[in-house]
Structure 1
Amino acid sequence: MRVLAVLIRLEGGGAEASVARIIPPLLRRGVIVQRASCEIAWPGEQSDPSRSLANPYGDNPLGWLRSAWKLRQQVLNFRPDIIHVHCERPELIVAIAKWMHWLGRVPIIVTEHTREPWKQHPIVGRVVRRILTAHSARFVACYTGGKAGISVIYNPANPELPARDLPAALERIVVIGRLNDGKRVSWILNAASRAKVACPIVVTGDGPARRHLSILAGLLALDVTFRGFQKDPWSDVRSGDLFVTASSFEGEPLAVIEAIAARVPALMSRISGHEGLAHSPDQLFSSVEGLVDRLKFAMEPKGLSALIPSLRFRETILSARSPESVADRWVREYDILANES
């Protein structure tokens, strides 16, 4: 079986990391996955012009149409049995290509990576979803608590992340993820300033908000290092680090799951995608002021240790997210879709 995975980029986000992680176990099960990217890679990320759907016309109907035409060419060359779509921009491009009858009868499966898809562009989202539904696209969520009747297949976690030693005191704040407005990294910088955090802050990831965040860090006189994209963002994380995420929405937050796997103390915004992954209410905050209080708690004696998940909680979260079990689920889903088409 041949699957064409259409992504925003080849690397850099949770969806991209999840697809990359599942490719080897799928290949062992006879499923060949080729990836296509809709946008230009950020510095340091993998880039392959032969798999790029990026266009020179920008984010407008002409550019979308050009990207859909490039998708048609990739389908003709790769001849997939299934097109697997991840995130909003890929949904848009695939919907246009389907509407133009450029993809033939290749069945489509869509993974929802956020609990509120198309929240920023609801009108476009309704049109896209109607086109995909009209062409019998199958929808799967990577999180629980979604729409009734939709299958749930978790994103695979990294089973090889070693657990860190128990920390003695807070030494660094660590932020990992795409730098865009939805991640609200500015909350973290503002809260660190108000809490009078003296330790360094390390930000791993890239995105359109990086320049603004760099300026903000300077204005707040914070010791912030921007590492950009890193293939293994957890290789630099050590005992004494506190992982913080202030995302405004998530489906299956990969960075939080990997923090649990590495038993790194974590603070996270109070959103539906995070609440099921928090082992203690002390980890959650709903505002910048709430994060200030949580950071002060982490700086107290034994505060950091209270934010570390137990081994039992870690095993509960990771057991359903092993790459092998997730690959088995996807093979079954692909088989169902192929037999229905």
Structure 2
Amino acid sequence: MFRESVAGLIDGGARVVVAIPTNGPLIDEIRSLGAEVVIAPGLVLRKALLRPSGWMRLIGETFRGLGSAWRIMSRVHPDAVYVSTITIPLWPLIARLRRTPVISHVHEAEASGSALLNRLLYSPHLLSDEVLVNSRFSQATIRHVLPNLASRAEVVLNGVVGPASPQPLRADTDGALRVLYMGRLSPRKGPDLVLSAAALLARDGLPVDVTLIGDTFPGYEWFGDQLRLQADNAPEHMSVTFAGFQPDVWSFVADTDVVVVPSRIDEPFGNTAVEAVLGLRPVVVADTSGLREAAGSYTTARMVPVDEPAAISEQLRALTESWSAVRADVEDSRAEALRRHAPESYRAAVRRHVERAVRSGSRRADAPRRRGRTR
């Protein structure tokens, strides 16, 4: 979504300078859009820093981040600051100190998490002139801990890019059912649930091929090993492919029958579910949080209780048994997803809010001068 936000601002003729704390794979894409990129080491809030053992590092990264952000602001003199995550909390403060309009775009929401932690994460954005959220669920999560911030927040649905000409669903599911998971290989995302559900089908005699797209976070390599062990112990009639991180997933979507999004805990939204719909694929989705909001309105989406592989298995079987009806519905679902999540609409909405913040900031800056002239 950050890439789409940058694209929207550049589409409007803005000079965009992107400040990020570390190097990463997104940089080349951002530069290809025409943005400038500055590496700005600083504070990135992680749970480890909020524990007593991480407090010294927290203090050090805070001071380093304040200095880095201040120097960038002095060099660039921006008309506005757009903050795309709540995990870099210093930018709203620096922008306010520099009397620069600031827009916060909240993409994170974990209603089941600590209320105190959520309040700490969201509080810096009370300083923002504009607050955007990616779903009603995110807005409700903020409202639970900071009602006054939620009252100012506006929902801007994610713009989700899909394939221009998606591969149609195959006529039938003869042979193995092809199941796809896309996302981080982490316990919270639940790829192990996909393997467990597929194993249940295979033991009942329905062949299943599972492909996992994604990789582990540093420090979670143990979970990747656990998944591979689970795959090694798969029953007969079941195969598992670990495809790793893929910058372009559409060839994998074209080769699959069903996408599964089995997250165990809250998701602020469900881009992967929308991507499945845009790719003309039915999707099985955990019935929770922003996933429900993202997928609940599509006839080709099936909602299942959280953390229940048997329910996933049942829905996969049900899809195969109603395959003709599913094939008839996927085009209508795609059309609705294109309407709701057009990237152009998302880009325009972000640009509109940034421009509104700039205009508001200009009026505030002009007010003292106007008062001075009336004296």
- Alignment-derived partner of residue 13 in structure 1: none
1:175-205 Cα distance to aligned partner (Å, 9 max, x none): 1123333312222222222332643322222
Count the aligned residue pairs: 314
Residue number in structure 2 paired with 1:19 = 2
Is contact 2:84-2:107 (8 Å) kept?
yes
Counterparts of 2:278 and 2:59, CA distance in 1: 44
Match of 1:274 in 2: 291
Match of 2:227 in 1: 216
Query: Kindly tell me: are residues 137 and 289 of structure 1, through their superposed partners in 2, closer, same or farther at Cα, counting changes over 3 Å?
Result: farther
Q: How high is the TM-score relative to the length of structure 2?
A: 0.71
Question: Within 5 A, what are the aligned runs for 1:249-328?
Answer: 249-276=266-293, 277-278=295-296, 279-280=298-299, 283-286=302-305, 287-298=308-319, 300-303=320-323, 306=326, 309-328=329-348
C-alpha contact (below 8 Å) 2:216/2:223 kept by paired residues? no
Q: What is the Cα deviation at residue 263 of structure 1?
A: 0.8
The one-letter amino acid paired with 2:226 is I
AA of the residue aligned to 1:141: V
In the other structure, the counterpart of 2:166 is 163
2:59 corresponds to which letter in structure 1? L
* CA-to-aligned-CA distance 1:32-87 (integer Å, 9 cap, x gap): 3333334564xxx3458942536799844135413443333333333332222223
Q: Distance in 2 between matches of 1:94 and 1:294?
A: 45
- Counterpart CA distance in 1 for 2:15 and 2:214 is 29
Give the gaps of 5 or more residues in structure 1.
1-17
For normalisation by structure 1, the TM-score amounts to: 0.78
1:123 aligns with 2:111: no
Tell me the equivalent position of 2:370.
none
Counterpart residue type for residue 217 of structure 1: R
In the aligned structure 1, how far is the partner of 2:325 from the partner of 2:40? 44
| Pairing 1:202–2:208 present | no
Is the contact between residue 265 and residue 305 of structure 1 (CA under 8 Å) also seen in structure 2?
A: no
Change (3 A) 1:183 1:161: farther
- Deviates most, 259-268 or 230-239: 230-239
- Is the CA contact (8 Å cut-off) linking 2:300 and 2:329 kept in structure 1? no
Is the contact between residue 171 and residue 199 of structure 1 (CA under 8 Å) also seen in structure 2?
A: yes
Question: Following TM superposition, by how much is the alpha carbon of 1:112 offset from its aligned partner in structure 2, in angstroms?
Answer: 2.2
**Is the contact made by 1:265 and 1:304 (CA closer than 8 Å) also made in structure 2?**
no
Aligned to 2:80: 82
Whole-Å separation in 2 of the counterparts to 1:54 and 1:243 = 37
Aligned to 2:101: 107
Task: Report the Cα offset of residue 258 of structure 1.
Answer: 1.5
What is the rounded CA distance, in whole Å, between the counterparts of 2:304 and 2:90 in structure 1? 36
2: distance between equivalents of 1:102 and 1:25? 24
Instruction: Work out the CA distance in 2 between the residues paired with 1:159 and 1:64.
Output: 38
> What is the deviation of 1:130?
2.9
Distance in structure 2 (CA, Å) of the matches to 1:84 and 1:55: 17
**What secondary structure sits across from 2:135 in the alignment?**
coil
Pairwise CA distance, 1:102: 8.7
Which residue pairs with 1:181 in the alignment?
Answer: 187
Q: Distance in 2 between matches of 1:40 and 1:288?
A: 37
How far apart are the structure 2 equivalents of 1:327 and 1:234?
Answer: 22
Higher Cα Rg, which structure: 2
Shift of 1:245: 0.6
Matches within 5 A, 1:21-170: 21-38=4-21, 41=24, 45-46=25-26, 50-53=38-41, 59=49, 60=54, 61-62=58-59, 64-65=61-62, 66-90=64-88, 92-94=89-91, 98=93, 104-116=98-110, 119-133=112-126, 135-144=127-136, 146-147=139-140, 148=151, 150-167=153-170, 168-169=172-173
